[in-house]
Amino acid sequence: MKHTPFNYDDLALLTVELPDSLKNLRYSGRFSHVICEIDRLLADHTHPHYDPIMVKRLELERFLATELAHDYSVPFEDMVENFREKYPNFTECNLIDLVNSGHADFMVKNDGIYFENAAYSNLRECCGNYLNKLVNPDFVPSPCPSEEQHDNMRHMREHGSHSWRYKIREWMQPDEEHERPGEHVRIWLPFPAITPEQSGIQLLAASHQAYISDAPIRTVYSEFKYNTNEKFEITLEFTNTATYHDLKEAEATGELPPEVLPYLTEVEPHIVFTPYLKKLAVYLTSGTQNPLAKARRIYDYVTSHVRYSYTREYRLFDNIPMYAAVNGRGDCGVQALLFITLCRIAGVPARWQSGNAVHPPRDGSYGRVGSHDWAQFYIAPYGWLPCDPSYGGGAKRRGDDEAWNWFFGNLDPYRYICCTEFQRQLDPPKTYMRLDPYDNQSGEIEYTDEALSFADVNCSKKLLEAEQLG
């Protein structure tokens, strides 16, 4: 799909059942055989002769097989050696522990265990204390740096809200290998969404003529004839305000205004009410009709059941919430989607929100901007409330119950919100399969005749200024 125009609505076909011959090959990780079998099934005079719906599903599966084979290319033995460069005492058993504890995403391919290409750096980033404890049982981890969040909690309880103004620079370009001077290029960069939390949104500078969309996945777009080492770069500014909510179950009602009803429905292929998830939602919420109590039970389940783990790109999943529930691991967006889906099944409207976590400079550290996803759920009379299962689950595991409770119904102003819906088209639409067809936090890029993958581009988000306003 890198070279073939992609119909965005075809994503829903991931719910279509695959033929047995393909399922057997796929689940044994024989992706080259998957591609050969798809070619056989789509050939003339092959039994059965498929309708256009299944043909599109098989073409989508060919793309998934190609990408999965490429992205999961680090063998088990090589991953052990990677860790030994930093942790000389690291053993094969330590890597097995990372897998069994839910920290490491992996795939069985050609009868061996393979890890995603960026797994080594991702695991070091997200579970450094766990790694040190594995190789040195006497290691005493330093306290998790949650002082910033606790300062925010105190400020919001005292003042009712907390605001920060940010100035951020973003850019994207093809890498040196994929530069095509003189060719027409199209680039979308994230831009602050219009939400109750964000104000003072401004595009301060752009390297090229730019169009700002008002789509749920908000972007700044430009197209131009590409020159060597040319970037599309923007500088933006906005203020994020987090409002404190003191939630009480006794005050919650089941009132649902018409505008929130769409957030009780399915959106294939991921927000799908599977038989298992329906039974799980009933199990979790049994004995209460209070919507706030239902949402809290679902939050408690997600934050205790799903261990944070970097995962494959979202476009390579069949069903993200099912993956989280069945495997007990997933990153921030995977956890948010499980929370959203279970809430909708239980009759609590829920929706996606994402963009970036913004970390202002503190105690001599550099500020930074990094991709992050979370959720919102609707409870009358409070309205839309935030929920961050990823931050909440991390707090729970480190014994920080105050922060665990906080991230159910409250957030912080250290956010850059770009997307207010999951799985929505860009404006203007991209021609080819997106790098992330469900979200947009780093940008998208394509030439007239092909899309570029994450591995084909260079991009950056840099925090230039951060100012506390009140």
* Across 166-170, average pLDDT: 97
Residue 209: what residue type? Q
Q: How many CB atoms lie within 10 A of CB 364?
A: 5
Query: What confidence tier does 142 reach under pLDDT thresholds 50, 70, 90?
Result: low
Residue 446: what residue type? E
Please determine, for residue 2, whether its predicted confidence score (pLDDT) is greater than 70: no
pLDDT tens-place string over residues 372-387 = 999 999 999 999 999 9
CA-based torsion, 330, 334, 336, 341: positive or negative: negative
* Across 193-201, average pLDDT: 97
Of 416, 373, 437, 420, nearest to 170 by C-alpha is 416
Of 291, 327, 297, nearest to 312 by C-alpha is 327
| Long-range contacts of the stretch 203-212 (C-beta < 8 A, 24+) | 203/234, 203/235, 203/236, 204/167, 204/235, 204/236, 204/237, 205/233, 205/234, 205/235, 206/232, 206/233, 206/234, 206/235, 207/171, 207/231, 207/232, 207/233, 207/234, 208/232, 210/234, 211/428
pTM of the model: 0.95
Query: What confidence tier does 143 reach under pLDDT thresholds 50, 70, 90?
Result: low
Of 437, 442, 166, nearest to 316 by C-alpha is 437
Lowest mean pLDDT among 40-44, 98-102, 277-281: 98-102
pLDDT tens-place string over residues 292-333 = 999 999 999 999 999 998 888 999 999 999 999 999 999 999
Mean pLDDT of the chain: 94
Q: Are 127 and 103 in contact (CB under 8 A)?
A: yes
pLDDT at 135: 82
In three-state secondary structure terms, 198 is strand
Angle at 286 between CA 283 and CA 291, to 5 degrees: 115
Please determine, for residue 262, whether its predicted confidence score (pLDDT) is greater than 80: yes
Residue 217: what residue type? I
pLDDT tens-place string over residues 36-48 = 999 999 998 888 9
Residue 290: what residue type? N
In three-state secondary structure terms, 439 is coil
H helical segments located in 290-349: 291-305, 320-327, 332-345
Angle at 441 between CA 438 and CA 444, to 5 degrees: 75
Of 330, 344, 346, nearest to 390 by C-alpha is 330
